[in-house]
């Protein structure tokens, strides 16, 4: 089991959009190593001739008739929003422009 | 009125139908019990006193008018806080959803309401259903009514504790790796993980979508079956819902006959790591089933040894994707939105503030397992193990009708005993996890006590043969209850308002 570096944990946390403190990163690096050490044994069983299973049901393209059904009103859809404006979700800047 | 809380849902159903008691009286008795003991147990995150009484009054009015009501109309229920209920706080045990009131209800909630089931409130759980003890809830740990210093299991510890503390005769749980069955085992109650796709997941906050399944919890096998029948069935709103009739679970619970059935004992789910008291109760239950006319044989499922490892790759991987929706934009917590920060920074800060340690741990683990360079070695290998475990089940079910094992290797452990050792905590689910990986059905029911604490007996049936769980479970329960003078929870300590806290 290779050592998981703090930099690796920080990179993964960034991919997951999760801000972690230096302490949390160091702690997680140790825990990840213990957990990955315990779960890596799946590789012993995973021979090349075994087909992977992603889901217990072998379903393909479940569809339903395209019929108009009632949906949430704007008020109701926005009722849990942290911020809203003019019947829309208000979000922080997304393109790095001046606020 | 206090004796109402000790009745089963089936008994309440009969009394309600005969108008010996009103739904309001039944509901009030349970609300009173919650007021009395929940400070000590902390099974509930939210109690909907007014809503519950209003639902009860509706049932009473409908009954007075002579309307045709279902068997559970007027019977109270505790709802795991993973299910969206319109207008009712729904947190999933997380700070990131604190204060959120969903604008819609889960299909299961709609079915409960349509059946006249009275929803008392929302029960505590490990945050986003990640845990085996409720210690990962952002809102405090639930205490096991059998011993308030011990865990009630998890993630659905609140629902199981509510049953064992007689705060509700029925509860809903969800089971991704054992979150219905392990709490049932350690609280002396009954819990069923139905066949994957047997119950709608619409409106159930997703943890690991290919493993998650909602199911019924109660104190008796028949009550569990009655609830199973209400919540199961195809749902257009869940693309993974099975479009086939629900297995005849209530009829099977009433039949309660194992004569001629073949029962397989899973060799890999016994021995080392299983407490002697757990093994003894398990063996005694096997003896009962044998004396009732079942044939017992040993069955080997060699790949179950890899189940836990596969689960702790697949579930975090799916969770890392599912929990991406908590992005601080449309609902829930938002932190740091002061005009100076980008959406991405606000997202990262909010997720840092809103998620607890175990959730962060699993998001990072899952993101790692899915990331370029590691995918084949971790997630890919785990998916292959999933195939092997499914094949083990198929082979076993070609020679036996059901499989059995202890539900958990140990009885309830003390609160705090494993909270700093994730790998030790994960071992709590070693016997329940293979079931989720294969999507088959399973039940845990009480097998007795070990050192004063409940032991669970697990029954596993092939997909869409959920009725077999009830047939075997009810037969075993009948014999055990005769020996104990009632189902196991009748032996649970009667909590007083001064208990613990």
Domains, chain A, ranges and CATH?
6-45 (1.10.20)
Residue A32 scores a pLDDT above 70: yes
Closest CA to B453 of B59, B53, B124, B186: B186
Inter-chain residue contact B103 with A53, CB threshold 8 Å: no
pLDDT band for position B130 (cuts 50, 70, 90): very high
Inter-chain residue contact B333 with A91, CB threshold 8 Å: no
DSSP state of B191: E
Closest CA to B160 of B138, B177, B143: B143
Instruction: Identify which has the larger pLDDT, A98 or A68.
Output: A68
How far away is chain A from the Cα of B295, in angstroms, using its nearest Cα?
29
Average pLDDT over residues B78-101: 98
- Please state, in angstroms and rounded to a whole number, the distance separating the CA atoms of residues B480 and B287: 11
How many Cβ pairs within 8 Å bridge chains A and B?
180
- Please state, in angstroms and rounded to a whole number, the distance separating the CA atoms of residues B145 and B187: 7
- Tell me, yes or no, if B231 comes closer than 8 A to chain A by beta carbon: no
Residue B500 scores a pLDDT above 60: no
Inter-chain residue contact A16 with B320, CB threshold 8 Å: yes
Question: Where along chain B do its domains lie?
Answer: 2-304+386-491
The fraction of chain B above a pLDDT of 70, given in percent, is 99
Q: Which two tokens stand for residue B120?
A: 């008392």
Average pLDDT over residues B113-119: 98
Residue A48 scores a pLDDT above 70: yes
Closest CA to B101 of B405, B332, B321: B332
Average pLDDT over residues A53-71: 88
Inter-chain residue contact A82 with B367, CB threshold 8 Å: no
B276-281 LR contacts (CB < 8 Å, sep 24+): B276/B450, B277/B411, B277/B449, B277/B450, B277/B451, B277/B455, B278/B406, B278/B408, B278/B409, B278/B410, B278/B411, B278/B450, B278/B455, B279/B406, B280/B450, B281/B406, B281/B447, B281/B448, B281/B449, B281/B450, B281/B455, B281/B457
Residue in B337, B345, B367 closest to A16 by CB: B367
Q: Which residue of B has its CA nearest to A51?
A: B384
pLDDT band for position B337 (cuts 50, 70, 90): very high
Residues of B with active-site annotation? 80, 155, 179
Q: What is the pLDDT of residue A62?
A: 86
pLDDT band for position B423 (cuts 50, 70, 90): confident
Inter-chain residue contact A45 with B365, CB threshold 8 Å: no
In contact, B221 and B190? CB cutoff 8 Å: yes
Q: What is the pLDDT of residue A98?
A: 53
pLDDT band for position A61 (cuts 50, 70, 90): confident
- Tell me, yes or no, if B427 comes closer than 8 A to chain A by beta carbon: no
For B300, other C-beta atoms within 10 Å of its C-beta total 13
- The residues pairing with B264 across neighbouring beta strands, listed in sequence order, are B297, B403
In contact, B163 and B152? CB cutoff 8 Å: no
Task: Name which of A56, A72, A78 to mutate to probe chain B: the one with the most chain B Cβ atoms within 10 A of its Cβ.
Answer: A56
Q: What is the mean pLDDT of chain B?
A: 96
Residue B452 scores a pLDDT above 60: yes
- Please state, in angstroms and rounded to a whole number, the distance separating the CA atoms of residues A25 and A30: 9
Task: Give the pairing of strands B118-123 and B76-80.
Answer: parallel
Angle value at C-alpha A25, between A20 and A29, nearest 5 degrees: 145
- Please state, in angstroms and rounded to a whole number, the distance separating the CA atoms of residues B102 and B95: 15
Q: What is the pLDDT of residue A99?
A: 46
Task: Name which of B381, B426, B463 to mutate to probe chain A: the one with the most chain A Cβ atoms within 10 A of its Cβ.
Answer: B381
Q: What is the pLDDT of residue B501?
A: 40
Residue B390 scores a pLDDT above 70: yes
Question: How far from the centroid of its chain's Cα atoms is residue B408's Cα?
Answer: 14
In contact, B460 and B404? CB cutoff 8 Å: yes
The fraction of chain A above a pLDDT of 70, given in percent, is 94
Residue A57 scores a pLDDT above 90: no
Inter-chain residue contact B239 with A62, CB threshold 8 Å: yes
Residue B53 scores a pLDDT above 50: yes
Q: Which sign, positive or negative, has the C-alpha torsion B469, B446, B390, B263? A: negative
The predicted-structure confidence for B393-410, as pLDDT tens digits, reads as follows 999 999 999 999 999 999
Conformation bin of residue B93: beta by default, left when phi > 0, alpha when psi is -120 to 50 = left
Q: Which phi and psi angles does B494 have, rounded to 5°? A: -80, 110
Say whether pTM exceeds 0.95.
Answer: yes
Residues of B in contact with A72 (CB under 8 A): 103-104
Residue in B334, B390, B423 closest to A82 by CB: B334
Residue in A4, A46, A79 closest to B385 by CB: A46
Residues of B in contact with A56 (CB under 8 A): 196-197, 210, 390, 437-439, 463
How far away is chain A from the Cα of B334, in angstroms, using its nearest Cα?
6
Inter-chain residue contact A94 with B343, CB threshold 8 Å: yes
Q: What is the pLDDT of residue A60?
A: 83
Q: What is the pLDDT of residue B36?
A: 97
How far away is chain B from the Cα of A5, in angstroms, using its nearest Cα?
12
Q: What is the pLDDT of residue B2?
A: 64
- Tell me, yes or no, if B198 comes closer than 8 A to chain A by beta carbon: no
The fraction of chain B above a pLDDT of 90, given in percent, is 95
Q: Which residue of A has its CA nearest to B388?
A: A50
Q: What is the pLDDT of residue B498?
A: 56
Task: Give the pairing of strands B213-218 and B190-193.
Answer: antiparallel
| Furthest CA-CA distance within chain A | 57
The predicted-structure confidence for B346-368, as pLDDT tens digits, reads as follows 999 999 999 999 999 999 999 99
Quote ipTM for the complex: 0.94
Q: What HEC string does B247-270 produce?
A: CCHHHHHHHCCCCCCEEEEECCCC
Average pLDDT over residues B45-52: 98
Residue in B100, B347, B384 closest to A50 by CB: B384
Q: What is the pLDDT of residue A94?
A: 85
Task: Name which of A2, A5, A17, A89 to mutate to probe chain B: the one with the most chain B Cβ atoms within 10 A of its Cβ.
Answer: A17
Residue B468 scores a pLDDT above 70: yes
Residue A73 scores a pLDDT above 70: yes
Fold that domain B2-304+386-491 belongs to in CATH: Amidase signature (AS) enzymes (3.90.1300)
Inter-chain residue contact A80 with B332, CB threshold 8 Å: yes
């Amino acid at each position: 089991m290779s050592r998981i570096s703090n930099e690796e944990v920080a990179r993964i946390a960034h991919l997951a959009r999760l801000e972690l403190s230096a302490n949390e990163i160091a702690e997680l690096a140790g825990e990840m190593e213990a957990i990955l050490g315990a779960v890596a044994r799946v590789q012993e069983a995973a021979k090349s001739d075994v087909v992977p299973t992603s889901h217990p049901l072998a379903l393909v393209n479940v569809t339903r008739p395209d019929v108009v059904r009632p949906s949430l009103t704007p008020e109701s859809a926005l009722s849990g929003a942290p911020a809203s404006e003019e019947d829309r979700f208000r979000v922080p800047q997304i393109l790095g422009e001046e606020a | 009125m206090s004796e109402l809380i000790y009745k089963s849902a089936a008994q309440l159903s009969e009394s309600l139908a005969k108008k010996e008691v009103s739904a309001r009286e039944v509901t009030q008795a349970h609300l009173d019990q919650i007021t009395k003991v929940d400070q000590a147990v902390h099974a509930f995150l939210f109690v909907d006193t007014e809503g519950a009484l209003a639902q009860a009054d509706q049932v009473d009015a409908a009954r007075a008018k002579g309307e045709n009501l279902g068997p559970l109309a007027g019977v109270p229920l505790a709802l795991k806080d993973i299910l969206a209920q319109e207008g009712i706080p729904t947190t999933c045990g997380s700070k990131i959803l604190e204060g959120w009131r969903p604008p819609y209800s889960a299909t299961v909630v709609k079915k409960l309401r349509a059946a006249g089931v009275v929803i008392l409130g929302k029960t505590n759980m490990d945050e986003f259903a990640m845990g085996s003890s409720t210690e990962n809830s952002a809102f405090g740990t639930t205490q096991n009514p059998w011993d308030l210093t011990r865990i009630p299991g998890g993630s659905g510890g609140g629902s199981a504790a509510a049953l064992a503390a007689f705060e509700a005769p029925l509860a809903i749980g969800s089971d991704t790796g054992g979150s219905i069955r392990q709490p049932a085992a350690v609280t002396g109650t009954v819990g069923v993980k139905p066949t994957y796709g047997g119950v709608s997941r619409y409106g159930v906050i997703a943890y690991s979508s290919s493993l998650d399944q909602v199911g019924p919890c109660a104190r008796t096998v028949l009550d569990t079956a009655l609830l199973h029948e209400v919540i199961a069935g195809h749902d257009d709103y869940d693309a993974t819902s099975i479009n086939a009739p629900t297995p005849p679970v209530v009829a099977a619970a009433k039949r309660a006959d194992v004569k001629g059935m073949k029962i397989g004992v899973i060799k890999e789910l016994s021995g080392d790591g299983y407490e002697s008291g757990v093994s003894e109760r398990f063996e005694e239950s096997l003896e009962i089933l044998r004396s009732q006319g079942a044939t017992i044989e040993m069955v080997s499922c060699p790949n179950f040894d890899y189940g836990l490892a596969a689960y702790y790759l697949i579930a975090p991987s799916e969770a890392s994707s599912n929990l991406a929706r908590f992005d601080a934009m449309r609902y829930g917590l938002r932190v740091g939105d002061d005009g100076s920060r980008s959406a991405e920074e606000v997202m990262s800060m909010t997720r840092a503030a809103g998620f607890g340690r175990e959730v962060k741990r699993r998001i990072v683990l899952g993101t790692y397992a899915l990331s370029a360079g590691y995918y084949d070695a971790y997630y890919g290998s785990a998916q292959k193990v999933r195939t092997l475990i499914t094949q083990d089940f198929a082979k076993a079910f070609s020679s036996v009708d059901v499989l059995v094992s202890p539900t958990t290797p140990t009885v309830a452990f003390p609160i705090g005993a494993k909270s700093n050792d994730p790998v030790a905590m994960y071992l709590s689910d070693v016997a329940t996890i293979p079931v989720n990986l294969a999507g088959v059905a399973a039940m845990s029911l009480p097998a007795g006590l070990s050192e004063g604490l409940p032991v669970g007996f697990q029954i596993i049936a092939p997909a869409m043969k959920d009725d077999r769980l009830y047939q075997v479970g009810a037969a075993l329960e009948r014999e055990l209850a005769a020996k104990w003078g009632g189902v196991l929870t009748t032996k649970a300590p009667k909590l007083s308002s001064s208990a613990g806290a």
